[in-house]
Structure 1
Amino acid sequence: MTGTETPSAVTRVRLPSGELSIDVQSGSPWKLDDLLGFGVRRNPKRGYLLVSRVLGKHVPVSPLTIRAAHRALARQLASDLPGPLLFIGLAETATALGEGVAREWGADTKRTDFTFLHTTRYRQRGELALGFQEPHSHASSHLVYRPAGGEGQRHFAHARTLVLIDDELSTGATLENLARGYMALNPQLERLLLVSLTDLCPRHGELQAALDLPTLSVSLLRGHLSFAPDPAYTSPALPPVSGNDSDKTPLLAAVSARNGQDATRSPLLDAALDRLLQTPAGQSVLILGTGEFQYPPYLLALRLQLARPDLSVFNSATTRSPVLVWGQIGHALSFTDNYRDDIPNFVYNVAPGGYDQVWIGHEGQATLDPQLLTVLGAQALRLA
C-alpha cells in the first residue's frame, strides 16, 4: 500500500483492486490518518474498504477513543432540534456508533424526547415498519422494526427530526433509501440529519432536492472520494453472506435497540463488569461484540477502562463482512455465525495470544462458535 498527500490535500492509495483518491476539505475536525486506514473487500460491487481507526469494528481500539468519536459527533448536533427525534443507526457496522451518538447527545442536552433504534438483517417478531436496500453492501437488505415501548412508538410515528447514522457516507444512496422509506410513514417530518465519521459524498445538494427536506450532514471529516478500478483485478469469490430469513426471535435479546429499547440497564452487563473488575493489574483485555450486537460490549469495555485505568482495554466486534488480509487488515479469523444462518463470520486484527484476556459479548441464545473461543482462548459473556 502507498499513500501520498499532495498540497491540494488529495490522498491517493494504491490497492490491489485499483486506486482510491480522497480529497479532504480543509477545516475537517479530525485528520484522515487519525480516522482511516484502507482495505480491500471481497465484494465485486465495491473494491475498497475504509477501515475506521475509531469505530471499534475491524480494528480493536480503546473504548476511550470510541467515546471521543461519539462525543465529537454528538456535540455537532444542535440542542434545540425539533422534537420528538428518531435516531437510526445502520447495521451492522454503525449500531454502536449510532447508539453512542444518540446517548451522548441525550446526556449533553438533558433531552428525553428521542428514541434510538438500529436497522437489522434479522427477521423477528414485532411490527416490521419498512425494508430498504444498501446497494453496495455484501448483504444489501435492511429491516426496520417499530419500537416496542409506548414512548418509542410515539417518537417513531411523529418524529419531526430524523437522524441517520452510518460509519461512512460515500454516495448517500443507502441513507436516501432509508429516509424515503421513513418519510412515507411520517409526512410530519421536518428535518433530516446525516451523521457519519467520514462524509465523502459529492451529492448533498442533489440529495436534499430529491427528498425535498432540509438536510444537514455532520461528520468528523469531509471530502470527496473516487475509485478507479484496476481492470486486471479479479475479486475473490464472495462467500455466502445472506441468512436463511428465519425468525430469529428465540436467539435475540428480549430487550434490544432493534426495537428501540435500552439494553444498557441489563443486570447481565452489571454482573459482567463485576467479574472483569477482578482482572489482575497491568493486563491487556479485549472485549468483542458480535455482529449487530456492539453497543453493550463497547459500554462494558468503557466502564472497565474508566474503573481500572491500570488495564489496557480494547474493543472491537465480529462481522459478516468479507475482507482480504491486506493493508489495515493484518489478520483474519473465520468462524460460523452465532445466529444459525450457517454463514461465515469474521474477526479482524485479533491474532491468537495478542491479549491477556479476550471476552466475547453476545445476546440472548445466540451461542458462539466453540472453535472461535478455543482459537482466541476467549470466554463468552451474555450481556443482554
Structure 2
Amino acid sequence: MSTEVKVPVLGESITEATVGEWLKQPGEAVAQDEPICSLETDKVAIDVNAPVSGVMGEHMVGAGDTVVVGAVITTIADGAGAGDKAVAPRKDEGASVPSQSAPAPAEGDDAVVLSPAVRRAVLEHGIDPTTVKGTGKDGRLTKEDVLAAAEAKKSGAAPAAAPAPAAGEAPAASGRNVERVKMTRLRQTIAKRLKSAQDTAALLTTFNDVDMTAVMEARSKYKDLFAKKHDVRLGFMGFFTKAACLALKDVPSVNAQIEGDEILYHDFVDVSVAVSAPNGLVVPVLRDADKKGFAQIEKDIADFGKRAKDGALTMEDMKGGTFTISNGGVFGSLMSTPIINPPQSAVLGLHRIEDRPVVVDGEIVIRPMMYIALSYDHRIIDGREAVTALKIIKEAIEDPTRLLIDL
C-alpha cells in the first residue's frame, strides 16, 4: 500500500511552486516528518515532509518543474528497508509531468547530488565533490564543506582534482566551461519586482553620513550587560530601527504607499529587514517595530537571520511591511542606491563603518563614519520630506538619547 505525497498549502494566494531539489531518492527509507524535497515559491523555500514512514517511491516531478497545490509528487510505500523497491505511482494523478524526471541512483552509484550553491562553489574552486566528506543532512555536501576543501587545497593539505563538467555542460576546446542554471522561482520573482519598481516608481536617492561614535560607545559599555539580561547581542540594527521609527512618525509619507489613485497612510511601522538567504535576499517583516524595545527587535532580527539560513521562513513572515532597512555594510559596501520594495515607498540603506577625517568644532578629527541612503518614490515623497527623514535618523544615531525621549 502506498501513501500519496502532495504539494501542501503554500500560503494565501500562492497556488504553485517550483521543485527545488529532491532530498530522498526512490527506494530509500524515509521516516515520518522527514524532509523529502524542497519547494520554492515566489517568496520562500519550504520543505515537503514525509506524511508516513516507509520506502520512497518514484519522483513524479523533477527539479525545476512547476507544481500546483494539491498535486501528487511522489508516493511512500509501506516498509522500512531502504533497499526495497517502492511501487511506482501513476503519473496522471494531478501533478504536472516533467519532460525528464530525476532518475533513481543505481546500485553503487557515486554521483553526488549538489544544490545550485554547492555546484557553483565546486566549479569556482575546482573541487572534486566525490573527495569531500559532507557534513550536511544525510551526509550531503554543503557550501562550507567545499570552501573548507578549497582552503585545504590551497595549503597543499589535500589536493583535489577539478570536477567533471555537470550534466548538460559542453566544455569548450580551450577547457573553459559555461554552466547554465535555471533561475529559481525566488530569484525570478526578485528580478521581476526590482525591475517593476524601476519601471513604475519615480526613484530617487538622498544621502547623508553618520558619526557612529555615540552608538559604538553605548554598545561597548552595555553589550555584556545587555547580552546577560536579554540573551541576545546588542547590534546596530536595533538603533537604526528605532531611529527609523522616529523619522516615520514625523514624516508619515515615508511610511505610506500608493494604491491606485489613493495614498495609504499607516499608523503603525512594520519594518521589512533585508536578510541574506541561500537562494537570494528575503525581507521578513518586523511587525509593530515602533512599539518594541531594543531587546525584542534584536531577538526578532537574529531569529530572522537564523531561519533564513535554515530555509525556515514562512509566507506569514514575509507578508506586509511598510518600510525596509537593508544593511549592505555587513558585506563591505561603502555606498549604494537601494531599490524600494514595492508597494512600499522608501528603503533605508546602511553601509560599512570606517574611520574618516571630519571637522568637529573647527578641528579635524578621526571618527567612525557611515554613509546612509534613503531611496524613495518621488511620486509620493517630496525631496524635502526624504531629506528631513534621513536627517532625523542621522541625529538620533549621533545622539541616541533622542531615542529615549522621542526627539
TM-score, length-scaled by structure 2: 0.23
Higher relative contact order, chain-length normalized (CA < 8 Å, sep 6+)? 1
More strand per residue: 1
Bigger Rg over Cα: 2
